[in-house]
Amino acid sequence: MSIFTSWLASPPPDAAVEIAPERIAAATLSVRGSQMAISAYASQPLPSGVVVASLSSPNILDRRRVVETLRDVLGRLGGRQKRVALVIPDVSAKVSLLKFDQVPQRRDDLDQLVKWQVRKSAPFAIEDASVTYAPGARMADGAEYVVELARHDIVRDYETVCGNAGVYAGLVDIATMSVLNLYLGSDPAPSGDWLVVHMRPGYTSLAILRGKDLIFFRNRPDGEGETLADLVHQTAMYYQDRLSGQGFARVLLGGRGEAPGEEEEARRSLRDRLGVTVEAIDPTLQAPLSEKLSACTESLDMMAPLVGILLRTQREAATA
């Protein structure tokens, strides 16, 4: 799965950066033996109101503070970074799954068809949007595409912050998609149906994959009235009734909620509703820490999307 590929430049970036409302984090990878390892990691909290994630209004509200914090975080990585992969909040973009009975042969025709379909549900004018898509599940009666759109000006603000801090953002993706990329390139490749629940202060995202194909994605901003238990129940019912679900081979949970203990409550809700073991999202299973690093659970949660987007760029560079 590759989202926002039009902003990807090669070779792979020097580091990954995440700009989130609560903090800025960055990481680098290096080769250790036959695999990649996390060679450096740094993060710094942001004051409330400096970054406010939104699909339809400006996200960067204090540019000077964000640029200063990003410079400090990058400086603590060591070395000199020029190009970065950038992770932004899920709620700054909209993810849709579109099914087409027939897929146009010409790329230009497919571009127009995708834009025509997402125009119907876009919360802003399609002319103001960056729209990217990637093939999803193949079906007997058609094909599905994973489509992501975000407002030009919102994405440009995030990219400009990076430029002001002295680095170029060659690839932009949202946090949960980056977490999924931790597993999409693993060996052996994922099989069966698997559920990923990714929590962040301000929102929770759920994704269901069938093998390597994304077949369900939902983001729930906090404050909409539904509890996580409600969201899990609704997702499980939809999975069984509309997606012919036969049970999850894996359930993965990671991230941090707004209040202390939210992750453990989420773990109990998932276990009780689905009757399965809930695994922690752990980036070190795909890229172990270098000898000079140690990590607590919180920093592992912050590392996950950073490592995921960097592993994605490594795979894409290897197959280019």
User: Model confidence at 3, in pLDDT bands (50, 70, 90)?
Assistant: very low
pLDDT reported for residue 230: 87
pLDDT reported for residue 63: 98
pLDDT surpassing 60 at residue 301: yes
pLDDT surpassing 90 at residue 319: no
User: Strand, helix or coil at 287?
Assistant: coil
pLDDT surpassing 50 at residue 4: no
pLDDT surpassing 80 at residue 117: yes
Q: How far apart are CA 63 and CA 165, in angstroms?
A: 10
pLDDT reported for residue 10: 62
Structure tokens at 50: 């400096």
pLDDT reported for residue 320: 66
pLDDT tens digits for 12-22?
A: 899 999 999 99
pLDDT tens digits for 183-237?
A: 998 877 789 999 999 999 999 999 999 999 999 999 998 876 678 888 888 999 9
Model pTM score: 0.93
**What rounded mean pLDDT belongs to the chain?**
91
Structure tokens at 293: 């690093």
How is residue 55 annotated by DSSP? S
- Supply φ then ψ for residue 199, to 5 degrees: -105, 140
Q: How far apart are CA 208 and CA 239, in angstroms?
A: 8
How is residue 123 annotated by DSSP? S
Going through 156-299 in order, the beta strands assigned E by DSSP cover 168-174, 193-200, 203-210, 213-221, 250-255, 278-280
Smallest Cα–Cα separation from 155: which of 134, 171, 177?
171
pLDDT surpassing 90 at residue 139: no
